[in-house]
Chain A
Amino acid sequence: MVKLVPLITYEDLSEIILLVKNVYDMDLSGYSKASLKRRVIRFMELEKLDLLGLKTALINTKGFYSHFIMELTVNVTEMFRDPQYYQLLNTEVMPYLASFPRLRLWSAGCSTGEEVYSLSIILQEHGLYQRSFIYGTDINARVLDTAKKGIYSLAKVKEYSDNYLKSGCKNSLSDYYTAMYEAACMPNELKEKILFSTHNLVSDGVFNEFQFISCRNVLIYFEIDLQKKVFELFDKSLALFGFLCLGSKESMIHSGLLHKYKVIDKKYNIYQKIAL
Chain B
Amino acid sequence: MKKPEILCIGGSAGSYHLILDLLATIPTQFQIPLVVIIHRNERYDSKIEENLDKRIALRVKVAEDKEAIQAGTIYFAPAGYHLLIEPDFTFSLDISAPLNFCRPAIDVTFETAAEAYQDLCCGILLSGANQDGAKGLMRIHEFGGNCLVQDPVEAEISTMPQAALTLWPAHPIYTYNELKKIIIQMTYSN
Residues of A whose CB lies within 8 Å of any CB of B are 2, 4-6, 10, 32-35, 38-39, 74, 76, 217, 219-221, 223-224, 227, 247, 249-250, 254
From A2, A38, A227, A254, contact of B138 by CB (8 A): A2
5 tightest A-B CB contacts, nearest first: A34-B84, A32-B92, A74-B96, A35-B94, A220-B93
Q: Is the CB of B84 within 8 A of A32?
A: yes
Contact B138 A32 (CB under 8 A): no
Q: How far is the CB of B123 from chain A (nearest CB, A)?
A: 14
CA distance A76 to B142 in the complex (A): 31
Which residues in A have their C-beta under 8 angstroms from that of B142? 4-5
Residues in B with CB closer than 8 Å to A32 are 66, 84, 86, 92, 94
Check A35–B65 contact: CB distance below 8 A: no
On whether A34 and B81 interact (CB within 8 A), knowing A10-B115, A74-B96, A249-B65, the answer reads no
Contacting pair A34 B112 (CB below 8 A): yes
Q: Contact check, A220 vs B97: say whether CB atoms are below 8 A apart.
A: no
Question: What does DSSP make chain B's interface, helix, strand, loop or mixed?
Answer: mixed
CB of A250 within 8 A of CB of B95, answer no
Q: Chain A contacts of B135 at CB under 8 A?
A: 4
Instruction: Find out whether the CB atom of A220 lies under 8 angstroms from the CB atom of B87.
Output: no
Is the beta-carbon distance between B84 and A250 smaller than 8 angstroms?
Answer: no
> Please, which residues of chain A bring their CB within 8 A of the CB of B97?
76
Contact partners of B167 in chain A: CB under 8 A: 2
Determine whether B108 belongs to the interface, using a CB cutoff of 8 Å to chain A: yes
Task: Specify which chain B residues have a CB less than 8 angstroms from the CB of A76 in the assembled complex.
Answer: 95-97
- In the bound complex, residues from chain A placing their C-beta under 8 Å from that of B64 are 249
Q: What are 15 contact pairs spanning A and B, CB under 8 A? A: A32-B94, A34-B84, A34-B112, A34-B115, A34-B116, A35-B82, A35-B94, A38-B94, A74-B95, A220-B81, A220-B92, A220-B93, A221-B94, A223-B66, A249-B65
Q: Could you tell me the distance between the alpha carbons of A227 and B65 in the complex, rounded to whole angstroms? A: 12
